[in-house]
Amino acid sequence: MNSHSIQTRISLPLCLAAGLLLIREAENTCSGQPATNLPAEIVAYINAAEVRANEIARQNNFTLSSDVKSFIAESKAGRFEEAQRPYSNIRKTADSTNPGAELRTPIVEIARDIELAINAFAGGDRALVVALGKDYMDALPPGCIYFGGTDPGRGLPTALCHAPGDPFFVISQNPLAAPVYMDYVRRLYGSRIKIPTTNEIDDCYYAYYSDASRRWQHDKQFPEQPKQLDQDETVTQQDGKPQFNGQGATLRLDAFIAKKIFDSNPEREFYLEESYAMEWMKPYLTPAGAIMKINREPVPEITQEAINRDHTFWCNLSRRTVGDFVTYDTSVKDLCDFCEKVYLRHDESGFKGDPKFLRSAYTQKTYAKLRDSIAASIYQARAEVSNGSKASPATKARMLKEAEFAFKQALAFYPASPEPIYHSMILLSSQQRFEEIKMIIHLAQKLDPKNPVYASWLGYLSKLPGNTNPEN
């Protein structure tokens, strides 16, 4: 395997995390009514993207294909369903063994960003999507480099920038090992920021390969010790040498490339909307509105002042979406009762939030993901390790309190969201609060009865030490 052969889909390298990948893939497609009356900023973005696509075609001596032309035209008109047909053809051809000259260029990434921009307005309330975009934009200072993780986190900030790099630079976290995507980023930003060359990305691959080989040798030499290879780093041997593939390999390679970008631009501030957690980032992260800041040096501790700012921001956001229902004292049972009432029974009596939010899956899922990332990669992570060593009892209690509060907010935004369910399961099982975990999972099963992952998580719980009532 070389650096360019690693697939660009990744997953969280934790026990039971495979179920999260299945849910995420299903949620990447947002269904809904055709988009109409796209905001002027989005139409302007599509027009500018069309100019870039035509310039690439001119430089490479071809004209845009009928699929690309049709996709752009339907997108500008806000006809989402009509745009999806040529876009599906573009993706199918791009993923084939013979994509052709056009889709070996960044035109495929231009189409991807246009699709993400119009998809935001396809199935949700326009005002809510605009507010979500503003939450991203408000968190990002001019001149910063921003790693977008999810489809909304890449698509909305990219489309809402005045121009590439104005007011900030957007780089997607997931396709960092993909040559066409990196060519796209280089074309967008030129020499204004330092993007790894092909040789530097190969260096990142060799750094990953060396690290993976060391961990593989450890697992062979000490089979009784905890495994150091992730469960989704698959290993084959060729001529006696290990070859690493799978989603765990992609995640770790992307992490090396992200670190290279971070180190190569020391004068820039960095921000993150997380897709999957990159372990090297965790000591550097602090809350920054809807997203997180990657500080230039590891942060010794999350101050109470930073916690208070984060707490206030999310309470205000919660008030305008689902109401100010969640507090530190909200029990898991009360949370599940609230979610069952408004999301399952659609009973909005006494609901103090925005009723339109309850019908906007796009914004529900996005805010749940954003809040969960802060809870897991900052508060939950620092409950175990703080300032490079085991957290003190006081720090652990403070971090767990804020993590649990944030997880409850995330579940209030979207109670079938896999990440806060998964991370809540880790937090609550460490305290042997198994009945509360079951309440959360049973609610998710009611909301998403066809998803098999919840049953597997209940099966996992039944095997944990201390679970005195293992029945589902």
Q: 31-63 pLDDT, tens per residue? A: 334 445 799 999 999 999 999 999 999 999 999
**The pLDDT of residue 471:** 61
**The pLDDT of residue 292:** 98
| CA terminus-to-terminus distance, the chain | 43
**The pLDDT of residue 469:** 74
| pTM for the structure as a whole | 0.90
**The pLDDT of residue 31:** 36
**The pLDDT of residue 36:** 52
Distance CA 413, CA 254 (A): 29
Beta bridge partners of 147: 171, 272
CA 277 to chain centre: 9
**The pLDDT of residue 472:** 60
State the SS3 of the chain.
Answer: CCCCCCCCCCCCCCCCCHHHHHHHHHHCCCCCCCCCCCCHHHHHHHHHHHHHHHHHHHHCCCCCCHHHHHHHHHHHCCCHHHHHHHHHHHHHHHCCCCCCCHHHCCHHHHHHHHHHHHHCCCCCCHHHHHHHHHHHHHHCCCCCEEEECCHHHHHHHHHHCCECCECCEEEECCCCCCHHHHHHHHHHHCCCCCCCCHHHHHHHHHHHHHHHHHHHHHHHHCCCCCCCCCCCCEEEEECCEEEEECHHHHHHHHHHHHHHHHHHCCCCCEEECCCCCCHHHHHHEEEECCEEEECCCCCCCCCHHHHHHHHHHHHHHHHHHCCCCCCCCCCHHHHHHHHHHHHHCCCCCCCCCCHHHHHCHHHHHHHHHHHHHHHHHHHHHHHHEECCEECCHHHHHHHHHHHHHHHHHHHHHCCCCHHHHHHHHHHHHHCCCHHHHHHHHHHHHHHCCCCCHHHHHHHHHHCCCCCCCCCC
**The pLDDT of residue 17:** 42
**The pLDDT of residue 466:** 77
Give 27's contacts (C-beta < 8 A, 6+ positions apart): 365
Q: How many CA atoms lie within 13 A of 137 on its CB side?
A: 17
**The pLDDT of residue 103:** 94
Q: How many CA atoms lie within 13 A of 342 on its CB side?
A: 28
Indicate the Cα dihedral angle 363, 367, 368, 374, nearest 10°: 160
**Token couple for 209:** 């390969």
Please report, as a single letter, which amino acid is at residue 271: Y
**The pLDDT of residue 256:** 97
**The pLDDT of residue 470:** 62
**The pLDDT of residue 73:** 97
Please identify every stretch of the chain with a pLDDT value under 50, giving residue numbers as ranges: 1-35
Distance CA 302, CA 391 (A): 12
**Residue 149 backbone dihedrals phi, psi, to 5 degrees:** -110, -55
Residue with the two structure tokens 């990948």: 21
The answer, yes or no, to whether the previous bond of 167 is cis (omega within 30 of 0) is yes
Q: What sign has the CA pseudo-torsion 192, 195, 197, 198?
A: negative
